[in-house]
Amino acid sequence: MDPEHPTAGEGAAVLIDTFGRVATDLRVSLTDRCNLRCTYCMPEEGLQWLAKPDLLTDDEIVRLVRIAVTHLGIREVRFTGGEPLLRPGLVGIVERCAQLEPRPKMSLTTNGIGLKRTAKALKAAGLDRVNVSLDTLRPDVFKTLTRRDRHKDVLEGLEAARDAGLTPVKVNTVLMPGLNDDEAPDLLAWAVENDYELRFIEQMPLDAQHGWKRDGMITAGDILESLRTRFDLTEEGSTERGSAPAERWIVDGGPHRVGVIASVTRPFCSACDRTRLTADGQVRTCLFATEETDLRAALRAAPEDTEGGSDEAIAAIWKQAMWGKKAGSGLDDPTFAQPDRPMSAIGG
């Protein structure tokens, strides 16, 4: 096989790799900036942010999403960051992408702080649902974890998203030793009560400080053991899961479910269907990739260079990048090297 003549999709142009995986889910980082300073993501003083000329413009983002949808078989688009609600043109980007044919499913991963203000507008623009990061129900622990006193704002943002119909509202939680590792059952009870879908995520080696340690990490096994002290969990099964990163369990017979994304201890690389675009226009084949492919240069090719800047040429570069995707993240390899770029720059 080769990326120009895939066997999948009846010969249609798709983002296929040498292992036969086809990417249909695009993660688009809109900014590397964030208004929190979560301890597992970045230092208290923040980072050296990307310069504005390095960021993709609104038009460039929409164009790349259009190429992905119309030329490369992308069916789902997730807008991420940093914190995507800090992007001034977010609502307009969503609205324009909602007009594409075929229309992709669109979601947003956010810390929730700005959702109270923007949820209705995002829904009206065409956003389908949101994932909101919240690691604790305790305001004091939230302040310690994020170095900001914004817990109330996140809770209000979650309510606004639910009320606006950005459902199912999924809540992403990372448990940290000695801080919130005792909260799993309380978090699930709260999620069930408020009709949110809770997903625990193992802490991954994507922090800017490179301080992640496998020893002491709260694992999927730890989380499930804690949840079972209060709830009856029935595994949903691989058929229902498909290519989704979260293993899901039915809570107390249903209808509510809880998910665990075990990127470290139970990797799901063989079913991965994602391609990633950074805020400065780089294609990443994996969260843990150490290499990127530049699409921004092709987008900004001189007008006379019609071959370099055409939709077809950009699609070809993208296909070639994904063709070289590795079999797995390499987390279990003794030579694993953490990516230089932190999560805020990569996009979750």
Q: What is the CATH number of the domain that holds 32?
A: 3.20.20.70
Binding residues for [4Fe-4S] cluster: 34, 38, 41, 269, 272, 286
Region 114-124: mean pLDDT is 97
Phi–psi pair at 296, nearest 5 degrees: -60, -40
Binding residues: 27, 34, 38, 40-41, 78, 82, 109, 133, 170, 204, 269, 272, 274-276, 286
- Is residue 119 in a domain? yes
> What crossing angle do the helices spanning 58-71 and 90-98 adopt, rounded to 10°?
30
- Is residue 250 in a domain? yes
- Is residue 8 in a domain? no
- Is residue 348 in a domain? no
Phi–psi pair at 275, nearest 5 degrees: -130, 145
Q: Which range marks the domain in which residue 314 is found? A: 19-330+337-343
pLDDT band at 9 (very low <50, low <70, confident <90, very high): very low
Region 288-311: mean pLDDT is 83
CA distance 183 to 185: 6
Phi–psi pair at 344, nearest 5 degrees: -60, -30
- The residue ranking higher by pLDDT, 55 or 264, is 55
Q: What does the pLDDT look like over 206-218, one tens digit per residue?
A: 555 555 566 678 8
Helix (H, G, I), strand (E, B) or coil at 175: coil
Average pLDDT, the chain: 88
Statement: residue 62 has pLDDT above 90: yes
- Asked if omega into 334 is within 30° of 0 (cis), the reply is no
Specify the number of domains making up the chain: 1
Q: What does the pLDDT look like over 133-161, one tens digit per residue?
A: 999 999 999 999 999 999 999 999 999 99
Statement: residue 5 has pLDDT above 70: no
Statement: residue 6 has pLDDT above 50: no
> What crossing angle do the helices spanning 151-164 and 115-125 adopt, rounded to 10°?
20
* Predicted pLDDT of residue 7: 40
Distance of CA 258 to the CA centre of its chain: 18
Q: What does the pLDDT look like over 33-51, one tens digit per residue?
A: 999 888 777 777 767 788 9
Binding residues for GTP: 27, 78, 109, 170, 274-276
Query: pTM for this one?
Result: 0.90
82: left (phi over 0), alpha (psi -120 to 50) or beta: left
Distance of CA 249 to the CA centre of its chain: 21
CA distance 252 to 153: 30
CA distance 159 to 212: 32
- The residue ranking higher by pLDDT, 202 or 136, is 136
Binding residues for S-adenosyl-L-methionine: 40, 82, 133, 204
pLDDT band at 345 (very low <50, low <70, confident <90, very high): low
- Is residue 10 in a domain? no
* Predicted pLDDT of residue 85: 97
- Is residue 197 in a domain? yes
pLDDT band at 169 (very low <50, low <70, confident <90, very high): very high
R_g of the chain computed on alpha carbons: 20
* Predicted pLDDT of residue 15: 97
* Predicted pLDDT of residue 190: 98
Cα angle for residues 119, 102, 343 (degrees, 5° grid): 50
- Is residue 11 in a domain? no
Helix (H, G, I), strand (E, B) or coil at 150: coil
- Is residue 207 in a domain? yes
